[in-house]
Chain A
């Protein structure tokens, strides 16, 4: 985006916000004199002290903290509003949050105007450099890759051709409108109209995210609209710059058009390239962060932001760079960083994007009150209508063509949602704002843009949810990750690749397989730390699922009722195992429990020492340590008391037993049934009084012989709970097992 000069206004606090946020040497307004000293005195300026003043015990110096204060106040206000909405039960179900925030912005703006101050306007530079990147990074980092790549052709067609169609259709028809004498806009020339069309035609990712987040629509439609909103940035950039340049000059030649097309490819591919480079850098950096885990998240954020800024510097598409960076770096970074860093990244991104979104909508409301307006009924109404019409026509026409090439066609319902979900938002407003004042129609355009945004966000945003219900559009399936589904997803991939091979043509799956193989052999070697790069996806998935369940269990002290049944391994694989007599079982249990108590006490009294941690991570949980220690104790004791399993293949001494605990949780059973050897009791530090809680992490109930495997499972579990590191020199080492 071309960045124009800062908009200066008398008491615009936005410029001040900008300075603090960006901190690039932009001109500082002289409202807060830097030479003023800290706080309490205030009269050092005068050298002439004739009379000695009384020492000021308490003094107010607002100017000193004005900038950060106002920023913090705005953000706080925004977040309190957000909080408030969700406390009102019925409101948030009916009205999407974005609408409410705009209304709040309107109110605040009105309030400020009433007071007599001039309300701050959504400064474009602030918007593009500070508020937009977190949202896009959040979207790009967590972009669901599989549906995106499966539909990338459709998305590109919608993004590029759809946006072009919208821009030209609207621009052209508006120009035709302006030619009509009665409207009174005869001064508007074609290029200005086209410029306006190109600003208003782009679907906005912020608005789409805000609204679609709440309706939980099925994956396909979601990714289509959302992907389109992300990828049309390149088109918007090119069109905007193109028409802006031309409208100054006034004429367009064929060469210009050709250069425009070339520019489009440069902008989009260049943006993606810049993003990919930074993504690989980030992945490479994360390979070496095993000793400094605390700063891992920062690498992700900073590299991504640099990608955005670098591409903005070259007038390339910053959004595409950000997306590319997130997508490229994610698989490698996630294989390298610790679980805690992953959580940190996730929550920080969500937090920043949430704050940004809130601020954007509020400022949109405030700017509406503030901005200079020029109202022309015909123009504005026509714009709104044309927006809808062109979107619907575009979607229908393009889908007709696209369906010829798709395996799974888009139904009418899908088309409707895609068309209806084409919301405009703050990007359009900011682009309009960036128009220099030399455009005589600037105010009119701004008014029209704001009206369109209001219409799409309010009317379409509010009605899309009941429409989705009405049309019974497929919703997103809230399914928990299932190991069966994962196995079959991978199975299907291979099966379809194979059948494509039998058929003899190189299709989608063939190329995907080739890419995967290339990735595995060459790229992962360089970007993933330690031995992890050999790990197949299925196993990584399984590990993550287990890890999640284990952590849930430790944290909540309750058993997640994922599988509320009483089925255990024994039901699946019965063996003739010599049953330990009931009496002996009781004895064993008593002894073990006693030891557990001892260990608990010992653990509490033992001081927290670095040397007892087997992972060089400063933030290890004490409970994890305790868990691990207790498990080791259990193992030693059990090998004394229990017999070797009869039927199962007992591990030969040299062979490492690597097995996954079958994670299975059950409801607490009534105390009358014989308890399994419950190795989970020590985890109930939060819930001390539930001895009947059982978690059959491994063994069949009442069966002592599998416990040896159980111990190994528990060690694995414990390892899963701590952070992964490349070096593990524990007793039962297996490079694969390192989490």
Chain B
């Protein structure tokens, strides 16, 4: 980890702050983290996120990493995935996890709720077709259960089927036997999850003070390890 601690100028921060709602200190800290993860480059790649030790035992690791590279989460009406992201895009993705401010009106909270649920929806809808099909949902449940005990695909399938049935019943009400429920659209998704107060649940604490020094040590050890191994591989 070099000594390149120079942060961008104020005007850049101001733009970012306006766009994402973070404070300057928070942006500064996240920028440091970005640089740490990307090894001081300007863009972040999937492999950089793969090396985070905390993520290694997370059952939905792949989905989380994919979410960072999903253009739909960049709020620029794009689609598809990218191979690397800049700091601004990183920040935009992170801004989905900001808590709502205390003095928000009901409409603003609703907007935030939709935004967060949209993020979740995008995580499930991997093929970008606007609906979560049964296969995609099954995949979600499989991933969730993958670390917790390896009980097989059948279980996950059963649970996903039941969940899908529930969604269909709540959203569609009545269907003829030959009708086919295509998949969960975003509106249905909103409906079934309206009881989870997502705007209060889907938040993490963003620090205003710098405590990334701890993680720096851990990650620098990681870097060292990678370097050593890299050398061995070459040799």
Contacts and interface: CB of A to CB of B under 8 A. Distances in A.
A573 interface: yes
A573 B179 CA distance: 10
Given A489-B196, A536-B145, A660-B162, A565 B172 contact: yes
B173 A658 contact: no
A487 B145 contact: no
A574 interface: yes
A701 B200 CA distance: 41
Interface in A528-572: 534-539, 542, 563-572
A496 B204 contact: yes
Contacts of B64: 494-495, 498-499, 502
A534 B52 CA distance: 27
Contact of A408 (B165, B180, B200): B200
A507 B168 contact: no
Interface stretch (A235-243, A291-299, A475-483): A475-483
Contact of A534 (B37, B141, B149, B203): B149
Interface in A489-513: 489-492, 494-505, 507-510
A498 to B, nearest CB: 4
Given A403-B102, A565-B169, A702-B177, A503 B158 contact: no
B212 interface: yes
Contact of B33 (A403, A504, A571): A504
A536 B206 contact: no
Contacts of A505: 205, 207, 211-212, 215
A700 interface: yes
A30 interface: no
B170 to A, nearest CB: 7
Interface footprint category on B = 35 or more
A247 B179 CA distance: 80
B193 A567 contact: no
Nearest to B133: A572
B92 interface: no
Nearest to B182: A572
- Residue of B123, B140, B148, B167 with highest tally of chain A CB at under 10 A: B148
Contacts of A658: 151-152, 154-155, 158
Interface in B160-214: 161-170, 172-181, 192-193, 195-196, 200-207, 211-212
Interface string A460-493: 0000000000000000010100111101111110
A517 B181 contact: no
A535 B165 CA distance: 23
A666 B152 CA distance: 30
B129 interface: no
Contacts of A569: 161, 165
A536 B161 contact: no
Contacts of B180: 571-572, 574
Nearest to A520: B148
A701 B181 CA distance: 16
A657 interface: yes
Interface string B136-159: 000011001100110110110111
A660 B177 contact: no
A662 B160 CA distance: 9
Given A403-B102, A572-B161, A566 B175 contact: yes
Contact of B192 (A484, A542, A573, A660): A484
B120 A488 contact: yes
A514 to B, nearest CB: 10
A487 B140 contact: yes
A564 B154 CA distance: 27
Contacts of B176: 566
Contact of A572 (B52, B140, B165, B212): B165
Contacts of A499: 64, 94, 97, 204
Contacts, number: 199
> In which size bucket is the chain A interface?
35 or more
Contacts of B204: 407, 496, 499-500, 503, 507-509
Given A477-B195, A573-B161, A490 B52 contact: no
A662 B161 contact: yes
**Nearest 5 CB-CB pairings of A with B:** A660-B158, A501-B54, A536-B148, A563-B169, A498-B64
Contacts of B144: 487, 490-491, 494, 538
A585 to B, nearest CB: 14
B86 interface: no
A64 B207 CA distance: 72
Contact of A539 (B99, B159, B175, B203): B159
A505 B211 CA distance: 7
Interface of B: 30, 33, 36-37, 49, 52, 54-55, 57-61, 64, 68, 94, 97, 99, 102, 120, 123, 134, 140-141, 144-145, 148-149, 151-152, 154-155, 157-159, 161-170, 172-181, 192-193, 195-196, 200-207, 211-212, 215
B60 A494 contact: yes
A517 B59 CA distance: 12
A563 B166 contact: yes
A37 interface: no
B94 A503 contact: yes
Interface in A351-401: none
A736 interface: yes
Contact of B203 (A407, A488, A491, A664): A407
Given A498-B61, A501-B58, A484 B166 contact: yes
A542 B156 CA distance: 11
Q: Which of B36, B59, B134 has the most CB of A within 10 A?
A: B59
Given A484-B192, A571-B168, 18 more contacts: A407-B99, A482-B192, A483-B162, A484-B167, A488-B120, A492-B201, A494-B144, A498-B55, A498-B58, A504-B33, A520-B148, A536-B148, A542-B162, A568-B165, A571-B180, A573-B134, A573-B161, A658-B151
A294 B54 CA distance: 45
Interface in A645-678: 657-664
A539 B145 contact: yes
Contacts of A700: 177
A535 B149 contact: yes
Contacts of A664: 165, 169
Nearest to B198: A492
A388 to B, nearest CB: 26
17 contacts: A403-B102, A484-B192, A490-B144, A491-B140, A499-B64, A502-B49, A503-B204, A503-B206, A504-B36, A505-B212, A507-B205, A539-B155, A563-B169, A565-B168, A574-B178, A574-B180, A658-B151
A510 B37 CA distance: 19
B151 to A, nearest CB: 6
B159 A542 contact: yes
B158 to A, nearest CB: 3
Interface string A66-95: 000000000000000000000000000000
A409 interface: yes
A572 B202 contact: no
Nearest to A496: B204
B140 A497 contact: no
B159 A483 contact: yes
A411 interface: yes
Which of A500, A563, A572 gathers most chain B CB within 10 Å? Answer: A572
A662 B145 contact: no
B46 to A, nearest CB: 12
B163 A408 contact: no
B73 to A, nearest CB: 12
A520 B161 CA distance: 27
B207 A492 contact: no
B97 A484 contact: no
